[in-house]
Structure formats: C-alpha cells, structure tokens
Amino acid sequence: MEKIIGETKKAFITGNEAVAWAALAAGADSMFGYPITPQNEVMHYWTRISPQYSRSFLQTEDEISAGFTVCGAVQSGKKSFTATAGPGNVLMQEPFGMAEAMRLPLVAIIQQRGGPSSGTVIYSQQEVTLTAYGGNGEGHRIVYSTSTHQEIYDYTIKAFNTAWKYRFPVFVLGDGYQAKMREPLEMYDPEDKGIEMITPYPLIGLGGKIGVDREPAHFCNIYSMEEELYDVVMQFEQDYEAMSRDVIEYREFFCEDADIIILAHGVVSRAAEDAVLILRDMGIKAGFFRPITLRPFPGQQLRDMLSQVKPQKILVAESAMGQFAKLVKNEIYGENIPLETLFKPGMGIIDHDIVEKVRSIF
Amino acid sequence: MLLPAMPKSWYLPTKPHKFCPGCGHGIVLKALGEAVDELNIQDKTIFGFDIGCSLLAWDFFGCDSVQTHHGRTTPVMVGIKRSRPELICVGYMGDGGGYSIGSQHLLNAAVRDENITLVLVNNTNYGMTGGQMAPTTLPGQKTETSPFGRDPETTGYPTKGPEFIAAITSDSAYVARATVSKYKQLKRYTKNALRNQMENKGFSFLEVLSTCPTNWKTNAQQTWNFLEEEMESTFRLGELKTPFGKGVK
Ligand SMILES: Cc1ncc(C[n+]2csc(CCOP(=O)(O)OP(=O)(O)O)c2C)c(N)n1
Ligand code: SF4
Ligand SMILES: [Mg+2]
C-alpha cells in the first residue's frame, strides 16, 4: 500500500483533519459528501490533500446522493466513505439501509450535533439510536464510539478493514467536540503498526465474458415472499452474531472493587474517567465501563463484570435523553442493581457534573 | 440625521439584522419588505426560511414565518398554500438549498405550477457552512470544496435556475433573475413575483444575484466587481417569463 504518513509522527490537529489523514492512510479511494457542520473540514482537508494521491472527491447534491454514491463506489470495488452529522445522518439512513440490506462495506464518519431537526451545529450524543438502529431494518451495523483524536485516527483506519472483512456498514461515531477540537495524536501508516489493510474487491464489473467465463452478478434488496426475506435477515443475524466476538471492544477502569459503576461512551467517557479518579480521592469507590462498540454492544462483558463486582449502583451519563441508557438496560435486563442517570441532551458533560451526581446519590 | 426608512413590514425588535457586513441578503429582504408594504399584504404573508444564511431572517419580518429544513422550504410552503389559499406564501432560500438539496422539490413544484412565490439568493457558494462549492459556483472559482477552482470537467457548469424553471412551467408562471446591484429592478421583479401569486396565476420564481464577502474573502471593491462583472455576465438578468408583459413598472 501507498505510504501516506511515512515515519510515524506526532500531530496537533482537529479530529476532522485526523479523519481525512486516516482515510488516506487506510487506502480510501474516494469520498462523497455534502456540507454540514461539524463535519465540513473532513471534506475540506480531503479535497486539498487527496488529489496528490490520485484519490477523488465529489460533492453531491445532498446526503441521500452522497450515501448512494458510496454504495455504488464500494460495489464497484473501491474503498469509499462519507462523513455527515445531524439532519444529514437522517437523510443518509436510506442509503445506509441499502448498505445493510446488501452487505456493502460502506464507511461513514458521524460527527454528532444537537437535535432534533437542525438543533445545534455544536455537539451531542443524540445520534446513537439513529446511527446504530436507523432505518427499517435490524441494525446490522458496526458502530465505534470514539473519545479521543487518537481513537478517531485508529478507528477510521479500522473501520475500512472491519467493513471489508465482515461486509456490514461501519460507522465511526464522533461528535462536534472531537471534530473541531485540536489535540495531539500519533499518525502512522497502518503497515508500520502491523495492521494489514484488506484489499477491496468488486461485486460487479467482474471482467471476463458473461455466459462463458462466469455468470452475471445479480444483487437485489427486495423479495417476493416473506420466507425469502426472513431467511436473508436470519442469515445476516447469524453472521452478525458470529463476527461480534471479534469486533466487540470496550474498556474498564477501576471496576474491580467499585461500589458505583459509571457507564459512559464517546467523549463523555473521558469525563467519567477523570471523575473516577476524583471520587477515589474523596474515598468513594467508583469505576467506569465504556463500550467502544455500541453495535455490537459488549453486553456479556458488562454482565460478567457486574456479576463479579456487584456494585451498589450504576450511573449512566450521556449527552442525550437516555439513548445510550436504553442500549445498556436492554443488555442488563434481569440484573438487580439500581440505575441512576445523568442525561444532558445536546450539552457537554464534564468530570465535575459526574462527581456531583455521584455525591448526590451516594 | 435622516436615516433611510425601514420597510413597515420589517420587525424592529430584531434589528439590526445578523448578516455579515456587505452581505446581499439584507438588500433582498429590503426589496421584499417594501414590496409587501406596497402591495399591502403584511398580515396575510407567510414567509418560509430555508436553512442557510436565509435562516438568519427567521424573525426578520412582522409577518408570520416558519423556518424549515435545509432544502425543504418549497414543500412546506406548498403545504401551507394548499391548505390556506388566501395566504401569500413566500419561500426564501439559498442557491444550495434551492438548486442542490431542494432541487427535486423545486422541479416538481414548478411542474405542478404551485401558486407560491420562491425567492432564491444566489451567492455562488454555501455561505452558512463556511463557503463550500454550490451548484452556482463559477468555473475556476475557489471554494472550500473546490480549493483549486471549480473544474467544469468534473463538476459541471453553474446551474441556470430561472432558465430551467422557465422551461418547465406554464405560460402564466413568473420567472426572473435580478441582482442586488440594481435595486429598482430587483424591487419591481419582487413585486411582480408576489402579484403573480396574489392573482392566482401560478408558480413564481425569482433568483437574486447576491454577495458573500465573508466567504469570497473579498473587500468592498472586489465584492462589487465579482457581482457586476463575473456573476452578471454568467447569469443573465431579466424576466424570463411574465404574464404582466415586459417592461411593466
Ligand atoms: C440535511 C442537511 N444537510 C446539510 C445541512 C447543513 N447546511 C446548513 S446551511 C447549508 C448551506 C447553505 O447554503 P445556501 O443554501 O447556498 O445558503 P447561503 O448560506 O449561501 O445563503 C448547509 C449545507 C443541513 N442543515 N441539513
Ligand atoms: S456568510 Fe455570506 S451569505 Fe452568509 S451572512 Fe455572511 S456574507 Fe451573507
Ligand atoms: Mg448560497
């Protein structure tokens, strides 16, 4: 693969710029996008840097088109991606649904902004349900919720491999803070870290003489009979379950002896991590658990931890009105631990907020 | 000191307005305000504002108004007009909102000859999101997503909105292009675009060439030059379709 970064180096850049470099380093051939804050600079950097490496960009007429052009590009055998946010993420649910239904290795970077509707252009964690379960299907998607620029870089690279390996659409779920902030990170070419990038392959335009060398490639996403669709969806479900073991990622911090477990994801998990240290200084035994993959969710891992640790309480903290908490509750159904919440839809959460909340319930 | 009067239909508590210095939006909204005043329709005019810099006008008029989604102002206006035909419905949008993401609505509303008025502000870029390429960006023009200049080979030529709308509308539609550099003409066309709806003649569409010094990164002189020399020679001014007869004042 073409070397983009050369010698591994430190950089101090915005998350959006990190996405553009990571996609280049991952060997993405093209980006299709439509302007929306706080994602714009992914396109701005991509349009400036990518021509030097003969990669392409098209600004489409809207997000529906951006998503479908990515569907076409990956079907033709190219690594392709898009980036969006908020109302753009809403519009992209149609092409994301096609990617789900046809198992297309589409990659999308989502920089969450406030909602509903145009909301704010700033920040939120309100696109969890949409990104994980949007559309009229079963959420056969992979969603990485990042919390630092290093993770944005790492998981953007990883997203292309996960997508092409398992053929489910893959999402890097960031937010406006991660998009726009500057932060130090290490940039590298995947090979230098021992990461082997999967070579993309076409699903159509396969060459040879049709009828002689091969049969034509036919793809569809609509079925005549209930049973046909049922079989397809059940097969997806089976494949999804099978790959989950390898794809699930999470992080635990000071859980072993914790009386209270804080559950957070994305950028809020940074506040949770700091809060745990502050609370420990105050003599409160806190720990935190953070799913990195929201889909597939590390449900078994969470349950195992809870049954071992037996905390007195759980606190779910998120910048939404319980979208993440729903995922959590779904996974720990039957556990008998009081669950407290700190919900701030569309607002940032800092360590102090979590510390105060814990002190008020402990 | 004598200050130029603000139109009666402007809503004073929200002035001064929020557009950048040198922005053309304010001039278009002034023409709209004076047209509404002179046609005496303030109490029955409903404005729909697209997401784009247009949204900065969401509380601009002393008229009832709704802000919609990016590109969706046209169907919202159609919904209001079809439900309450006595109201004068004016959709206000940018070139990105109208010609790009909202183009299917524009095309279909025009084909159905919806009895609404659309005012589309062409500033050759996506102003609100920080200056990306728009369908109207001129060949060679640099924007955030055409950093080396718009290349017609890969991204086509500027969208000619009124020409396109004129080709698909009925004979009684009103279609025109004005510019913020010729205020009298702009105001006359604005009035015609409203009168056409008042007389139930059908679809009315006015594109207005406008300025965006913030994203063009131009000073006052360069801004005006770009508008009058570059834009006005690419986008021809005039009434492409008018049931009132050419030259009607
Ligand atoms: C579905 C959706 N996609 C993208 C956006 C982001 N967005 C807001 S304004 C805008 C562009 C506005 O440009 P234009 O319509 O030309 O108006 P201007 O600001 O130039 O007046 C975009 C892309 C959005 N709000 N919703
Ligand atoms: S960004 Fe451009 S269009 Fe928007 S208010 Fe400023 S000058 Fe006007
Ligand atoms: Mg514009």
CATH code assigned at B30: 3.40.50.970
Whole-number Å distance, alpha carbon B13 to ligand 1 midpoint, is 26
How do residues B195-237 score in pLDDT, each as one tens digit?
999 999 999 999 999 999 999 999 999 999 999 999 999 999 9
How do residues B98-152 score in pLDDT, each as one tens digit?
999 999 999 999 999 999 999 999 999 999 999 999 999 999 999 999 999 999 9
pLDDT of residue B247 exceeding 70, the answer is no
What percent of chain A lies above the pLDDT cut of 90?
99
Total count of domains within chain B: 1
Which candidate, B242, B207, B203, B241, places its Cα nearest to that of B108?
B203
Non-local CB neighbours of B159 within 8 Å, separated by 6+ positions: B95, B99, B135, B136
Q: Is B127 helix (H, G, I), strand (E, B) or coil?
A: coil
Q: Do B130 and A40 touch (CB under 8 A)?
A: yes
Confidence of residue B246 (pLDDT cuts 50, 70, 90): low
B49 close contact with A: CB closer than 8 A: no
A63 vs B contacts (CB less than 8 Å): 101
Residue B172 lies in a domain: yes
pLDDT of residue B2 exceeding 70, the answer is no
Residue B100 lies in a domain: yes
Non-local CB neighbours of B25 within 8 Å, separated by 6+ positions: B19, B53, B54, B56, B57, B121, B210
Sign of the alpha-carbon dihedral angle for A181, A185, A187, A190: negative
Q: Where are the domains of chain A?
A: 9-193, 252-361
Whole-number Å distance, alpha carbon B124 to ligand 2 midpoint, is 11
Instruction: Identify the segments of chain A with pLDDT beneath 70.
Output: none
Question: Which CATH architecture best describes the domain A252-361?
Answer: 3-Layer(aba) Sandwich (3.40)
Q: Which residues line ligand 2 (CB under 6 A)?
A: B 19-20, 23, 25, 53, 123, 127-128, 212-215
A40 CA: distance to closest CA in chain B (Å): 8
Residue B246 lies in a domain: no
Whether A252-361 and A9-193 are alike in CATH topology: the answer is: yes
* Domain region containing B79: 12-241
Confidence of residue B245 (pLDDT cuts 50, 70, 90): confident
Q: CA B208, CA B197: separation in Å to the nearest integer? A: 18
Sign of the alpha-carbon dihedral angle for B92, B97, B98, B101: negative
Mean pLDDT taken over chain B? 96
B103 vs A contacts (CB less than 8 Å): 61
- Residue B207: CB within 6 Å of ligand 1? no
Instruction: Enter the ipTM.
Output: 0.92
Ligand nearest to the backbone CA of B23: 2
Tell me how many residue pairs between chain A and chain B have CB atoms under 8 A apart. 49
Q: Do A44 and B103 touch (CB under 8 A)?
A: no
Interface test with B, best of A41, A61, A122 (most B CBs within 10 A): A61
How do residues A154-180 score in pLDDT, each as one tens digit?
999 999 999 999 999 999 999 999 999
Residue B4 lies in a domain: no
Q: CA A172, CA A153: separation in Å to the nearest integer? A: 10
Residue B186 lies in a domain: yes
* CATH number of the A9-193 domain: 3.40.50.970
A48 vs B contacts (CB less than 8 Å): 147
Whole-number Å distance, alpha carbon B121 to ligand 1 midpoint, is 12
Q: Which atom of ligand 1 is nearest to the CA of B126?
A: 13
Question: Strand A170-175 and strand A250-253: pairing?
Answer: unpaired
Confidence of residue B249 (pLDDT cuts 50, 70, 90): very low
- Residue B95: CB within 6 Å of ligand 1? yes
**Which amino acid residue places its CA nearest to atom 8 of ligand 2?**
B23
Residue B88 lies in a domain: yes
Q: Which atom of ligand 1 is nearest to the CA of A62?
A: 3
Question: What is the rounded average pLDDT of the residues B58-87?
Answer: 97
Whole-number Å distance, alpha carbon A219 to ligand 2 midpoint, is 45
Interface test with B, best of A34, A84, A94 (most B CBs within 10 A): A34
